Structure 1
Amino acid sequence: MTLLAEKSPVLEKTRELCAAIAGDARFVQLQKDVERFLEDDSARLMYQTVHERGEELHQKQHAGIKLAPSEIKEFESARDELLRNDVASAFLDAQGELEALQRTIAKYITTTLEIGRVPTEAELSDEGGCCGGGCGCSH
């Protein structure tokens, strides 16, 4: 039996993990926050505008163009308004938490595949001394 066979212990445990995530009350709330945002045209437009303006300013800086104080103030004002919007703020929090969950799970799996066993907390921490690039270093 291969690791990817339909009835393999690895896939069964993967499905169990997925069920645990999907059934978690916090996860359900995060999904609701994302859905509420996606249904709110005003919050989405506000988010899109701030995101695009932030990208524009970043590109200008990257190109060596000095930003005018008015540009910075305008962006910060729009960003502050976005963060005061309950729907957008909840979405941003949910997005961050879901991305952190995804990174953590991926880190566990990637490290397990690299070292051949369940990693310790020290091996998962960024302070472990390893370069993190799958180099095989023993830190």
Structure 2
Amino acid sequence: MIIKLDSDPIMEKMKELCETLLGQEAYKELRDAIDHFASDEQSLQQYERFMEKHQHLRQKEDAEAELTPEEVSAYEEEERALYDNPIIRKFLYAQREFGQLHNKISQYFTKTVELDRLPEPGDLKKGDCGCGGSCGSGHGH
């Protein structure tokens, strides 16, 4: 026998949740920061160059190759330059805000199923992603 949840009332509540999100002034400001970044070619190129360097160094680390002090220094300098660019800095902040909200919603759902009840504040640990720690080290990036 196949048991299926009735997703219609859940999706109705999800619609309400998303309407609440869309109605917040802070949402509009964060969304504008993302749109501004997406339309600024120079910032996009700077960010993409940094992400390519980040990926290259991560692959090198994964292959257990030693990073040179010059590579680390150049990487840190480019990372600082990202935050010196106000368009990129606001984009990264908006991205982090939306990511944190997504994690909270996901964690709340996961804990509800795990505990078989609504979670209490103490059940929701700060920084806990609800993945059992197996989702890698990419938290907050």
The TM tier, using the shorter chain, reads: 0.7 to 0.9
Change in CA separation of 1:85 and 1:62 when aligned onto 2, cut-off 3 Å: same
C-alpha distance in 2, partners of 1:127/1:91? 21
RMSD over aligned CA atoms reads 2.1
Alignment: residue pair count: 127
TM-score normalized by the length of structure 1: 0.82
The percentage of aligned residue pairs carrying the same residue is 28
Change in CA separation of 1:108 and 1:39 when aligned onto 2, cut-off 3 Å: same
TM-score normalized by the length of structure 2: 0.81
Structure 2's unaligned 5+ residue stretches are: 133-141
C-alpha distance in 2, partners of 1:127/1:38? 28
Q: CA deviation at 1:38?
A: 0.4
C-alpha distance in 2, partners of 1:127/1:77? 28
Higher RCO, Cα 8 Å, sep 6+: 2
Q: CA deviation at 1:11?
A: 3.0
Partner amino acid for 2:80? D
Change in CA separation of 1:91 and 1:132 when aligned onto 2, cut-off 3 Å: closer
Q: Deviations over 1:45-81 (max 9, x none)?
A: 1111111101111211221211111111111111111
Report what 1:94 is aligned to: 94
Contact 1:61 1:67 in 2 (8 A): yes
Report matched runs for 1:27-42 at 5 Å. Answer: 27-42=27-42
Highest CA radius of gyration, 1 or 2?
1
